[in-house]
Structure 1
Amino acid sequence: MRGLGFAAFAALALAGCNMGPKEPTLATDGVTDAMLAAGNGEEWLTYGGDYDEQRFSPLNQITDANVGELGLAWSADLDTARGQEATPLMHDGTLYISTAWSMVKAYDAKTGALKWAYDPEVPRSKLVEVCCDAVNRGVALYGDKVYVATLDGRLVALDQKTGKVAWSKLTIPEGSHMAITGAPRIVKGRVLIGSAGAEYFTRGYLAAFDAQTGDELWRFYTVPGDPSKPQEGKHLDAAVKTWSGDFWKLGGGGTVWDSITYDPKTDLVYFGTANAEPWNPAYRNTDGAGDSLYTASIVAVKPDTGEYAWHFQETPEDRWDFDSNQQITVTDLNIGGKTRRVVMHAPKNGFFYVLDAATGKFISGKPFVDGINWASGLDPVTGKPNVNPEAKYELTGKPFVGVPGAVGAHSWTPMSYSPTTGLVYIPTNNTPQYYAHDPDWEPGTTGFQLGIDVSGGNIPADKAVRDATKAALNGALVAFDPVAGEIRWKVPQSSPTNGGTLATAGNLVFQGTSTGEFRAYTADTGKQLWSFPTQTGVLAAPMTYAIDGAQYVAVLVGWGGVWDVSAGKLGGGITPNVSRLLVFKLGAKGSLPPLKPTPALVLDPPAPAGTPEQIALGEKLYSNSCSVCHGISAVAGSLNPDLRHSATLGQKDLWQKVVHDGLLAENGMVAWKDQFSREQIEAMRTYVLKRANEDKALEGK
């Protein structure tokens, strides 16, 4: 496709093959490999707490007996009003965080004093190439450096003490539609990072960079390239047989946008891959070739060379956006009387997988949510799903309302595992999704490229329907037994996309909610013991550390992410964005300043315009391209502008200058002239006008 830089990708790959693997210099001072592996609890040195990504802390000063005494020790306001998704890291008395727009800050972990701040100055126009807000999930520490991957595709090494840039490397092809939202991981002196963007005609990969110099050491592609040319690895020779047509011109998807886990016992790196691109298989497997490897899979590679070891595809020929990028946790479990090293995974598709860590062999797969309707279950031997025929919407020609939906039974918000209780604590969602084959779809250059029509899932201006919709969308904190394959306890939550979890040796599980609380539960029974009003929704996972004998718990708060930008206020659970870092300890008495009142916006749109045919076209175009940022049914969330209130709505020429010409490109609203004609853009305006007037009438009742 135009401007996507596939030639640059190929050049990078071939250059890497010619050079052969390099050996990076290992850190001997500062944060070392041994420290990352130890995960001793005093410090929190890597995204998941340790290499196993269990998010379990052995600290036990705060327990189920005294957690009621937990109070706010200090807080820090952040200079961004987007979603906050990072897990803080703590080393040598300094707390390191990344915020939206890939900014990094360092605080005194005891007092909250700001030590330094770094802004990579990501262009705001990059937002159109990011599915789910300008978020960043965290930094990595190694030696004397802090590493952050930026939204616009750079990997940056900063000095831990000053925040000064040591080196910066562009990891994606210049001009590509890729982005980075995930946290880097460190393995044997290598910085591992992938990219996001499997809705934008991109080709997924995981790459390793020398932690000292930033030089690329290897790159593992997750989907094949042009079948007429040599593939970059034997694993792709096998994968290309599972694709057909000109799939490679559309990128293929399979991006590695979050989960990366290293296991020293097997000496393997495990990572998850995203959906195939486009979502609709009718436009990428034109003769029904099959599974679209290695999308929606867990893949294992050797960290020294990036060589393929094994894979397990959780959702073959994914057509529902069932990414497998959710956190991958490694542990030892007693299965059938034998201790086995296993990989545990709770992906979007709703089944909890336990795999052999050395071979990838399927051990078990059981539902961790109710109501799954895309598959009747998994084959007990192979783990392959038994897909319900009606779920293949491109074949039936009929819409399919899938459970789970594209948000997933479990999205990126991290789960935790307690070796003490043997339970995994999963933030789950109940968010059905409307899928329908779009017979008119053609590849474009701007925005989502899915091949489906979601307009049939719009919610009318009917109070009863809207109330029922909100009631049907919810979540739960689930404690899952990976050996028995059963839910041990569950805490229902009024809305989906609640925060990640932290388990501790104090018999506690911490989690924030989308409706504005930070809570502590007993890990064994799920009884709520404590809560703190955060004044905003919580997406990020908490962590804990100790200084001078005192245990602290820290969490980033600030509403945003996919549910806000796409579901809008119709999705429920929307709270204002107040971006902060909150840090708690026993006996602290701190408080947050009162919330400033937010003035209510009153709908007062211009009169409706356009023909019924024009409005219908506008609904389809808006739903499939604009709703991901401005909300389904033209009802926005708290982050992005609500177009029903836009001053451009009654000014045709100004609407064209913004949407067609890109008048507000520097604010993130880039030009759509390469995707839509002026007539199509005017049709969108007539649809938003219609919705604004309908909602005005509803508000007046």
Structure 2
Amino acid sequence: MLTLIRLVLLTTLTLTIAACGQSETGAEVAPVIEKSADASVTAAKIIKAESSGWLSHGRTYSEQRHSPLTGVNTKNVAELGVLWSYDLGTSRGIETTPIVHNGVMYVTSTWNIVHALDAKTGLKLWTFDPVVDKTQASKACCDVVNRGVALWGDSVFTATIDGRLISLNATTGDTNWDINTIDKTKSYTITGAPRIINGMVIIGNGGAELGVRGYISAYDAETGEQIWRFYTVPGNPADGFENKTMEMAAKTWNGEYWAAGGGGTAWDSMAYDPELDLLYVGVGNGSPWNQSIRSPGGGDNLFLSSIVAVRPATGEYVWHYQTTPGETWDYTATQHMILAELNIDGIERKVIMQAPKNGFFYVIDRETGEFISADNFVPVTWATHIDQETGRPVETKEARYSGKTAGLQLPGPLGAHNWHPMSFSPDTGLVYIPAQEAPWVYGDDQNYSYKEGVWNTGTDMKLAVLPTDLATFKVLKSMLKGRLIAWDPVTQKQKWSFEHGGPWNGGVLSTSGGLVFQGTSDAHFGAYDANTGDQLWKYFTQTGVAAAPITYQIDGEQYVAVASGWGGSFVLGFGGVLPTGSKAKVGRVMVFKLGATGELPTVIDEDFVAPVLPELLDVSEEVIAKGSSAYANACVTCHGDQAFSSGLIPNLRYSAITKNADLWQKVIREGMFAERGMPNFGTILDAETTEAIRAFVISEANSVRDANFYNSVE
């Protein structure tokens, strides 16, 4: 019956849509091919993971992101060309991993819109818009992004930025159920892709910077009913602890840690071992970042920055390993985790591997949580090494910044490796890491007080503003680096690296064709020799790529797919001052095949029109300094360093709102644009400070520090 429905649907869509250009490169719509009647996704299918599809976020439960396909290989990869592309209607922060099953590709775009496409032709089958509450965008620390969908049975599952979990009919896109997973009075969001284990949909959330308590939950895939919830940090002891695990964790905290939520949000990575029946969850940073405020007196603060193993049927705690005890630098352990079997000292070990933000690559026994080894894969200044006996970092004397400024440190909060997935090749035994170097100046915010609904880091964000003199800026810019690293997890040594133009490059795919694929922030998609790192092919994608690629096979032919779309925390905060060469053009799914000769549609840049600058206000330098400080702590994460926008959202330097004092107050303090994602700061900023921010923005607009100023620095 399912096959018949799909045949009718595809035939109808072919007749009505084929002439409308859904396949942008002009590729012909292929004849409808009858699919297998057994289209339901099961655990067995994800575990077996046939090479023809890409059924789960990391292809399999082990999250290796490696494909055994060999049709595209080192000898012929130069023959790859665009077969088809699909316009996602936006370029803002596309981070989706395409899921391919039964000849259908499922992808997401900004605002959690789900698209179902014919994986062979690019023909749109259906689109689902969850109509998210865009006021929730103000609660998203790092752009209104999401990382894709999950499949189970005959359903597609998506989680939204406003905290919902939705089940859709995989054939029609109709809603099966739609539930809320968060406390709407708190600043929770969801950006990660769901995982599904034995009929349970597993999802976490984000929001630690804005003052929430992290957790991960399981829901019945058929009904949406919550089955269990595991909190990642303890709550207020006066309310009682949910279980013995939380009572144990509370002993590692001090003070009124619950006042700002505690943090520990599980906003991205998971992995599952079906033989051990263990679900592994990556846990994030503290709320606030600054431990001296969050937990005065110190403590490990479990389970911040930890890998936690739980039973997927019940959420029962089994073991944990903490990468950064008492974290105070936003060093999350939510980064991609990979399961593998490694021969270490002559013994076959079941391991879990992670390269979290803190700059060290970890190999942990996934049965017990025992530390095996770790070494830094990029330069690190906060710790000298990981102690082999204790598995704990040996911190440098100046690393912590309680009551002081710690100076320039590596990594910064962008991390040595962020959310962008890495991959592991069983063929080479190497892990391929999208690594980066992005320094930061941490300092104690001695005037800190918790404020609901805005960033609560407890650090002086003004210290991290980029320098305005060219000489210092040049030095700092030279420290920003991005590279693709091939890392040997057994020897803990780098085998090769390929330098990119800067940080924030895309996720990684490896294949048994001897290849590694990665997109870059400078708007290219490339293929590298998995053994040597030589770049064998690259393609200009028109806008930057942050998402991870996949590969699949239909009728014996191999396809490689990736989504483009420039965005995320680095781009919003620093994309204007530190341009990558990418522009916010069209976000697309692009599919490549050997011998294909298609082209991406031409995007014509609009003619530059010199903006009419706002007139300088007659205010003192003290007022501008006050506005600068307030801007750094309230506005910079979206509107850019020094009010220099990335182009993804309005540029305040040239906005008509900036020129109108009354309108400025209405937008910032009355929530005039809340439905567009602009926060209402009425309870946080008084009218005087708000006007001081406007004075600062106008001052920056009239300064010499324009695009040419920053672009002149090589």
Report TM bin, short chain.
over 0.9
The residue identity in structure 1 corresponding to 2:238 is S
- Look up the match of 1:664: 673
For structure 1, which segment, 127-136 or 634-643, has the greater mean C-alpha deviation from structure 2 after superposition?
634-643
The residue identity in structure 1 corresponding to 2:97 is T
CA displacement, residues 644-685 of structure 1 (integer Å, 9 cap, x when unaligned): 112222322221111111222222113210111111111111
- Asked if 1:634 is matched to 2:646, the reply is no
* Mapped contact 2:150–2:156 kept (Cα < 8 A): yes
Query: In 2, distance between residues paired with 1:698 and 1:597?
Result: 17
The residue identity in structure 1 corresponding to 2:367 is A
The structural deviation recorded for 1:698 is: 8.6
- Look up the match of 2:345: 336
253, 258, 280: which one aligns with 1:270: 280
The structural deviation recorded for 1:690 is: 1.9
Query: In 1, distance between residues paired with 2:679 and 2:380?
Result: 38
Query: In 1, distance between residues paired with 2:398 and 2:657?
Result: 42
- Look up the match of 1:483: 490
CA displacement, residues 120-162 of structure 1 (integer Å, 9 cap, x when unaligned): 0112221110011111101000000000001100000000000
- Look up the match of 1:589: 597
* Mapped contact 2:291–2:298 kept (Cα < 8 A): no
Query: In 1, distance between residues paired with 2:317 and 2:194?
Result: 20
Query: In 2, distance between residues paired with 1:76 and 1:197?
Result: 31
Query: In 2, distance between residues paired with 1:29 and 1:621?
Result: 54
Query: In 2, distance between residues paired with 1:496 and 1:466?
Result: 16
Query: In 2, distance between residues paired with 1:498 and 1:106?
Result: 26
Query: In 1, distance between residues paired with 2:40 and 2:131?
Result: 28
* Mapped contact 2:623–2:695 kept (Cα < 8 A): yes
- Asked if 1:605 is matched to 2:614, the reply is yes
- Asked if 1:44 is matched to 2:51, the reply is no
The structural deviation recorded for 1:229 is: 2.9
For the residue of structure 2 that corresponds to 1:654, the secondary structure is: helix
The structural deviation recorded for 1:589 is: 0.4
CA displacement, residues 33-73 of structure 1 (integer Å, 9 cap, x when unaligned): 10011112111000001010000000100000000111101
The residue identity in structure 1 corresponding to 2:68 is P
The residue identity in structure 1 corresponding to 2:269 is S
Unmatched 5+ residue regions in structure 1? 1-27
Question: For residues 548 and 697 of structure 1, do their structure 2 counterparts lie closer, same or farther at Cα, with a shift above 3 Å needed?
Answer: closer
Query: In 1, distance between residues paired with 2:197 and 2:132?
Result: 27
520, 542, 552: which one aligns with 2:527: 520
* Mapped contact 1:461–1:695 kept (Cα < 8 A): no
Query: In 1, distance between residues paired with 2:474 and 2:607?
Result: 23
CA displacement, residues 156-206 of structure 1 (integer Å, 9 cap, x when unaligned): 000000000001110111332100000000111111000011101111111
CA displacement, residues 91-114 of structure 1 (integer Å, 9 cap, x when unaligned): 101001111111100000111100
- Look up the match of 2:148: 138
* Mapped contact 2:577–2:707 kept (Cα < 8 A): no
- Asked if 1:280 is matched to 2:285, the reply is no
Unmatched 5+ residue regions in structure 2? 1-37
* Mapped contact 2:468–2:705 kept (Cα < 8 A): no
The structural deviation recorded for 1:460 is: 4.0
Query: In 1, distance between residues paired with 2:635 and 2:58?
Result: 34
- Look up the match of 1:22: none
Query: In 2, distance between residues paired with 1:353 and 1:592?
Result: 40
290, 307, 310: which one aligns with 1:298: 307
* Mapped contact 2:405–2:441 kept (Cα < 8 A): no
Superposition pairs of residues 107-118 of structure 1, within 5 angstroms = 107-118=117-128
The structural deviation recorded for 1:278 is: 0.2
For structure 1, which segment, 593-602 or 629-638, has the greater mean C-alpha deviation from structure 2 after superposition?
593-602
Question: For residues 659 and 601 of structure 1, do their structure 2 counterparts lie closer, same or farther at Cα, with a shift above 3 Å needed?
Answer: farther
Query: In 2, distance between residues paired with 1:243 and 1:609?
Result: 49
For structure 1, which segment, 226-235 or 375-384, has the greater mean C-alpha deviation from structure 2 after superposition?
226-235
526, 531, 538: which one aligns with 1:531: 538
181, 190, 194: which one aligns with 2:204: 194
Please provide the CA RMSD for this pair.
1.6
The structural deviation recorded for 1:601 is: 5.5
Query: In 1, distance between residues paired with 2:608 and 2:237?
Result: 56
Query: In 2, distance between residues paired with 1:187 and 1:382?
Result: 33
295, 309, 318: which one aligns with 2:327: 318
Superposition pairs of residues 154-303 of structure 1, within 5 angstroms = 154-286=164-296, 288-303=297-312
The structural deviation recorded for 1:574 is: 5.1
- Look up the match of 2:458: 451
The residue identity in structure 2 corresponding to 1:402 is Q
The residue identity in structure 2 corresponding to 1:576 is K
Query: In 1, distance between residues paired with 2:112 and 2:706?
Result: 41
577, 589, 603: which one aligns with 1:570: 577
* Mapped contact 1:473–1:571 kept (Cα < 8 A): no
The residue identity in structure 2 corresponding to 1:428 is A
- Look up the match of 2:157: 147
* Mapped contact 2:167–2:177 kept (Cα < 8 A): yes
For the residue of structure 2 that corresponds to 1:488, the secondary structure is: strand
- Look up the match of 1:421: 428
The structural deviation recorded for 1:399 is: 3.9
- Look up the match of 1:558: 565
- Look up the match of 2:18: none
* Mapped contact 2:97–2:550 kept (Cα < 8 A): yes
The residue identity in structure 2 corresponding to 1:122 is V
* Mapped contact 2:95–2:147 kept (Cα < 8 A): yes
Question: For residues 110 and 617 of structure 1, do their structure 2 counterparts lie closer, same or farther at Cα, with a shift above 3 Å needed?
Answer: same
Superposition pairs of residues 82-121 of structure 1, within 5 angstroms = 82-121=92-131
Query: In 2, distance between residues paired with 1:501 and 1:697?
Result: 34
For structure 1, which segment, 511-520 or 276-285, has the greater mean C-alpha deviation from structure 2 after superposition?
276-285
- Look up the match of 1:506: 513
Percent identical among aligned pairs is 46
The residue identity in structure 1 corresponding to 2:449 is E
The residue identity in structure 2 corresponding to 1:391 is A
For the residue of structure 2 that corresponds to 1:413, the secondary structure is: coil
- Look up the match of 1:25: none
- Look up the match of 1:643: 652
CA displacement, residues 202-229 of structure 1 (integer Å, 9 cap, x when unaligned): 1111111111111100000000011123
The structural deviation recorded for 1:29 is: 6.1
Query: In 1, distance between residues paired with 2:248 and 2:705?
Result: 56
Query: In 1, distance between residues paired with 2:67 and 2:707?
Result: 50
- Asked if 1:388 is matched to 2:391, the reply is no
The structural deviation recorded for 1:699 is: 5.1
For the residue of structure 1 that corresponds to 2:552, the secondary structure is: strand
* Mapped contact 1:516–1:535 kept (Cα < 8 A): yes
For the residue of structure 2 that corresponds to 1:148, the secondary structure is: strand
659, 663, 680: which one aligns with 1:654: 663
The structural deviation recorded for 1:557 is: 0.5
What is the TM-score when the length of structure 1 is the normalising length?
0.94
* Mapped contact 1:609–1:690 kept (Cα < 8 A): no
Superposition pairs of residues 362-373 of structure 1, within 5 angstroms = 362-369=371-378, 371-373=379-381
Question: For residues 255 and 697 of structure 1, do their structure 2 counterparts lie closer, same or farther at Cα, with a shift above 3 Å needed?
Answer: closer
Question: For residues 416 and 492 of structure 1, do their structure 2 counterparts lie closer, same or farther at Cα, with a shift above 3 Å needed?
Answer: same
- Look up the match of 1:374: 382
CA displacement, residues 315-337 of structure 1 (integer Å, 9 cap, x when unaligned): 11111101100111001000000
Query: In 1, distance between residues paired with 2:409 and 2:98?
Result: 35
- Look up the match of 2:4: none
Query: In 1, distance between residues paired with 2:405 and 2:473?
Result: 24
Query: In 2, distance between residues paired with 1:185 and 1:602?
Result: 48
Query: In 1, distance between residues paired with 2:508 and 2:355?
Result: 14
For the residue of structure 2 that corresponds to 1:569, the secondary structure is: coil
